[in-house]
Every structure is written in C-alpha cells, then in structure tokens.
C-alpha cells in the first residue's frame, strides 16, 4: 500500500467521521412558530409557513407608520385609513403552500398619501380544543414600502431606516469615527426620583492612548 493510498483512506475515514458528527453539532437555533410569514422578496405576496390547521390562523396587516408618521397601532383608523386589515389566505397549487396578498392598494382601501410606510403582517393562531396546553399566540413580520403618486414600492429595512432614521458620524472616546443616531425627546408627564447610576469608568482614563472598546 502506497503512502498516498494510506493517506487517501485516512482522509476518507476522517471525512466520514466528520460527516457522522456534523448532524449532532448542528446550529443551536430558535424554534419555528406554529404559523409565520415567509418573506419571499420584493413584492407583496407572502408565503405562509403553517404547522397548524388553516382554520386556526388569521392574517392581518397593522400600520405602524403612515405617510411618514408613526401611528397608534391600537387605533381604529388614521385619517380615514383603517389601521388593521384582515387578509385572505389563498392556496398556491404550484408551490404547494398557502400565501397572502398584502398589497396596500387592495380593492376597498382608500388611496394612500405619498410617504414612507411600515406595517406588521400579523399571524394570529387560535388553537382548537384538540391542541393540548396551548393558548392563542401572535407572530409578526414587518414590511416597509414607499408610496409616490399612486405607485407603491417595497423597501428593505435598511432603506426604510435610511429614510426615517438616518445616522451620522461622530468621534467616539477613542477618537475614531462611529455611526450614531440622534435621539428624540418628549415633554415630561410625571416627575421621577432618579437614583445614582454606577460609574463604570471615568472619562479621565481616556486621556491615555490605547484604551480599547472591549468590555466597555
């Protein structure tokens, strides 16, 4: 047996060992909800991931931001626009999945003013009597879009954030430029007694070059 053959067999044995071990060292992840919205891409048609009977699930859209302004998601309507709208679930035989159409220009919906929008696609699961130890539960995915003169365009989260929540650069304590956002303020409604905070580190330490950000 040549050294190459030995080496190759050793490699195969190693690969088999790794392959056997791999399933057991799988990524530790979060559980799948009983019903969820799967974001398919740029449009407004969304696949539904259902691990429960169709009849126990309801899908709605809920506006969070309308024409640039964050709204009260618990309100019935904002300027005549219903905040919550129930969506139909339809069967896609080709894909073997249910989907929902969340296009904001649906029949019966009032015209949308220009601006940036965000809304939740909310899936509500209400278990039947056959489900042991279960109560209703909610899953949400956020979608973003912009309306311009009667046309609508989906936005990514990053594009939405760039429009409504732009950042800028400032010098951090190390003198390096870092992106930050400007905070908002609101008038105080109640007075509060505020306790002392714990000082983690005095700014005096940063007169010394070489201090890192790790652990700070």
Closest by CA to 33, choosing from 57, 49, 54, is 49
The CA-atom distances, in angstroms, between 147 and each of 116, 119, 123, 153, 157 are 7, 13, 24, 7, 16
As a whole number of angstroms, the distance between CA 45 and CA 40 comes to: 7
Question: Is residue 192 part of the contact set for another protein (CB under 8 A)?
Answer: yes
Question: Is residue 207 part of the contact set for another protein (CB under 8 A)?
Answer: yes
Nearer to another protein, 8 or 170 (CB): 170
Question: Is residue 21 part of the contact set for another protein (CB under 8 A)?
Answer: yes
Which helix (H) or strand (E) is 143 found in, with range? strand 137-148
Question: Is residue 173 part of the contact set for another protein (CB under 8 A)?
Answer: yes
Which residues in 63-100 are b (16+ Cβ under 10 Å) and which e?
Answer: bbbbbeeebeeeeeeeeebbbbbebebeeeeeeeebbb
Nearer to another protein, 98 or 155 (CB): 155
Backbone angles phi, psi at 59, to 5 degrees: -115, 135
Question: Is residue 18 part of the contact set for another protein (CB under 8 A)?
Answer: no
Question: Is residue 15 part of the contact set for another protein (CB under 8 A)?
Answer: no
Residues 105-164 that bind another protein (CB under 8 A): 118, 120, 125, 127, 132-142, 144, 157-158, 160-161, 164
Question: Is residue 42 part of the contact set for another protein (CB under 8 A)?
Answer: no
- With CB under 8 A as the contact rule, which of the stretches 1-9, 18-26, 40-48, 94-102 interacts with another protein? 18-26
Whether 60 contacts 67, CB under 8 Å: no
Of 24, 55, 76, 108, which lies in the binding site for another protein, with binding defined by CB under 8 A?
Answer: 24
Nearer to another protein, 129 or 184 (CB): 184
- With CB under 8 A as the contact rule, which of the stretches 24-32, 80-88, 107-115, 146-154 interacts with another protein? 24-32
Question: Is residue 81 part of the contact set for another protein (CB under 8 A)?
Answer: no
Please identify which residue in the block is written with the tokens 């392959």. 19
Nearer to another protein, 42 or 107 (CB): 42
């Amino acid at each position: 047996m040549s050294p190459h053959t030995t080496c190759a067999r050793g490699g195969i044995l190693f690969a088999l060992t790794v392959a056997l071990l791999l399933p057991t060292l799988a990524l530790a992840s979060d559980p799948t909800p009983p019903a969820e919205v799967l974001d398919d891409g740029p449009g407004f048609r969304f696949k539904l991931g259902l691990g429960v009977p169709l009849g126990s699930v309801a899908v709605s859209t809920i506006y969070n931001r309308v024409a640039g302004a964050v709204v009260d998601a618990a309100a019935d309507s904002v300027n005549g626009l219903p905040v919550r709208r129930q969506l139909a679930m339809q069967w896609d035989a080709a894909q073997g999945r249910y989907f929902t159409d969340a296009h904001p220009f649906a029949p019966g919906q009032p015209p949308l003013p220009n601006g940036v929008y965000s809304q939740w696609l909310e899936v509500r699961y209400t278990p039947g009597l056959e489900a042991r130890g279960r109560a209703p539960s909610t899953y949400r995915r956020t979608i973003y879009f912009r309306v311009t003169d009667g046309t609508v365009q989906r936005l990514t989260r990053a594009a939405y954030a760039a429009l409504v929540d732009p950042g800028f650069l400032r010098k951090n304590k190390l003198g390096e430029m870092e992106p930050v956002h400007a905070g908002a303020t609101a008038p105080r409604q109640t007075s509060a007694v505020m306790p002392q905070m714990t000082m983690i580190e005095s700014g005096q330490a940063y007169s010394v070059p070489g201090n890192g950000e790790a652990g700070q």
